[in-house]
Homo-oligomer: A and B are copies of this chain.
């Protein structure tokens, strides 16, 4: 019998472990279309929870949802030079609008249906939404415009990995227009804070809020802020970005308004997004060698009740007990809603069933057999704690469920923060830097002085490292750039990254 439910373990082969967790937890699978995945019900239910909780936060900060076209005329991409540079090399291009029988059998794109102008499947929507904003904005009275859209986007990635990097992915993209640079910058920062709040308090994933270096900026942005998390293999994951676009896109798309003095001015815009990549972040932050571990706030079910019986008599008594326990648990609340309970009465081996729920990462398993019914008890196992679980009086499980879930949520955060903090090191010389990231060293997050220039970028690239960000809460501190020796005032965070 293997010591863990997932083979290989994290230590044996982290990338393969990641794929196996996704499979064992029924989160997703590869599809028949290159680079596109099928998100299975359990994985999609996690995404739905992410969506709903983030959406509430967006609405609470004054944003409304809307929907813009999937397709972008090719000429729109040409308008912003950096933007096209960033996206033209990896996009799905629609060139025809009809199929016809191929003389050789099968189908082919009908030559007569060739589009005058090709359409790009949106890789991001700044250009198509900007064209709409240009029509909507005339006066400062029309501003700000604060919109968000939940949508699918396509980037033709060559190396794909489920959730982390797929050709098609699901995301939200916020797009806002403002009458001043200050207001747009405040919006950019506000949404970064929303993302950090969500990551830490809903995903239980500690993050660093920071500013991207020039080489890592969104194509066309003046400034890109991001949240960065550390995965269990000590590689960093960019989990969300918020861009101050200045007047770049407004100029490219002619978004102008008459200000209070009657002057015609280009507006200031922002955009910000998170995607199904967050599910990848959840897995790599919390899952273990037995499979997925889901923070309670995002779990599709908080409790899985697993009835155990040998014959029809036992079945009736056990199921009736389970039904009433389910109702009692559901009458309790967690995170502002009813506790979510799944009673799993499928006809399969008890051990297989139990391990399926372990691998799926449900926070609490409640096993109930005839003896538990007699003793008014339940055998409770917590997914965040090793060990076999324990018999618990039924009333205690119900009364404590809210606290238990809150404690688990905190516990997962603390565990991840501990790992992250232990792997975060201030490094002050190139020699130490190279040692820290040597092939046989564990690596982590290096906090080092630097000057943001092409020489640094080149050295990092050669080492397969990236500048993650300059932390917003970093202290101003005099030092020397470890790459060039030049004077520096701030430390950046460097790491291997997804």
Q: Are B118 and A69 in contact (CB under 8 A)?
A: no
Q: Are B154 and A70 in contact (CB under 8 A)?
A: yes
A390 on the B face (CB < 8 A): no
Residues in chain B near residue A109, CB distance under 8 A:
93, 95, 118
Closest B-chain residue to A131, C-beta based? B32
Closest B-chain residue to A36, C-beta based? B69
Closest B-chain residue to A75, C-beta based? B106
What 1/0 mask marks residues of chain A from 84 to 122 whose CB sits below 8 Å from any chain B CB? Answer: 100011111111111110000011110001000011110
A45 on the B face (CB < 8 A): yes
Q: Are A128 and B33 in contact (CB under 8 A)?
A: yes
Q: Are A91 and B95 in contact (CB under 8 A)?
A: no
Q: Is the interface of A mostly helix, strand, loop or mixed?
A: mixed
Instruction: Pick from A59-67, A256-264, A480-488 the stretch touching chain B.
Output: A59-67
Q: Are A31 and B69 in contact (CB under 8 A)?
A: yes
Closest B-chain residue to A151, C-beta based? B152
Q: Are B31 and A128 in contact (CB under 8 A)?
A: yes
A76 on the B face (CB < 8 A): yes
Q: Are A65 and B45 in contact (CB under 8 A)?
A: yes
Q: Are A107 and B156 in contact (CB under 8 A)?
A: no
Residues in chain B near residue A95, CB distance under 8 A:
93-96, 109
Q: Are B38 and A68 in contact (CB under 8 A)?
A: yes
Residues in chain B near residue A29, CB distance under 8 A:
132, 135
A74 on the B face (CB < 8 A): yes
What 1/0 mask marks residues of chain A from 106 to 150 whose CB sits below 8 Å from any chain B CB? Answer: 111100010000111100000010011001000001000001000
A27 to B32 CA separation, bound complex (whole angstroms):
37
A131 to B36 CA separation, bound complex (whole angstroms):
14
A72 on the B face (CB < 8 A): yes
A37 to B67 CA separation, bound complex (whole angstroms):
8
A57 on the B face (CB < 8 A): no
Q: Are B168 and A38 in contact (CB under 8 A)?
A: no
Residues in chain B near residue A321, CB distance under 8 A:
none
For chain A, give the interface size range.
Answer: 35 or more
A26 to nearest B CB, angstroms? 10
Q: Which one of B48, B94, B108 lies within 8 Å of A92 (CB-CB)?
A: B94
A198 on the B face (CB < 8 A): no
A103 to B384 CA separation, bound complex (whole angstroms):
59
The interface centre, meaning the residue of A41, A67, A78, A119 with most chain B CB atoms within 10 A of its CB, is A67
A8 on the B face (CB < 8 A): no
A389 on the B face (CB < 8 A): no
Known contacts: A32-B128, A33-B73, A67-B170. The answer to whether A99 contacts B89 by CB under 8 A is: yes
A76 to B107 CA separation, bound complex (whole angstroms):
10
Q: Which one of B64, B90, B96, B132 lies within 8 Å of A41 (CB-CB)?
A: B64
What 1/0 mask marks residues of chain A from 345 to 368 whose CB sits below 8 Å from any chain B CB? Answer: 001000000000000000000000
Residues in chain B near residue A31, CB distance under 8 A:
68-69, 128, 132
Residues in chain B near residue A100, CB distance under 8 A:
88
Residues in chain B near residue A152, CB distance under 8 A:
70, 151-152
Residues in chain B near residue A250, CB distance under 8 A:
none
Within 8 A of B (CB), among A151-193: 151-152, 154, 156, 168, 170
A143 to nearest B CB, angstroms? 13
Q: List the 9 shortest-distance A-B pairs measured between CB atoms, nearest first.
A: A36-B69, A41-B64, A88-B99, A39-B67, A93-B96, A97-B156, A33-B69, A93-B109, A95-B95
Chain A to chain B contacts (Cβ below 8 Å), 27 pairs: A29-B135, A32-B128, A32-B132, A33-B73, A36-B69, A39-B67, A39-B68, A40-B66, A44-B64, A44-B66, A44-B67, A45-B65, A48-B65, A67-B170, A71-B92, A74-B106, A74-B107, A75-B106, A77-B99, A88-B100, A89-B98, A93-B98, A95-B95, A95-B96, A97-B156, A98-B156, A141-B347
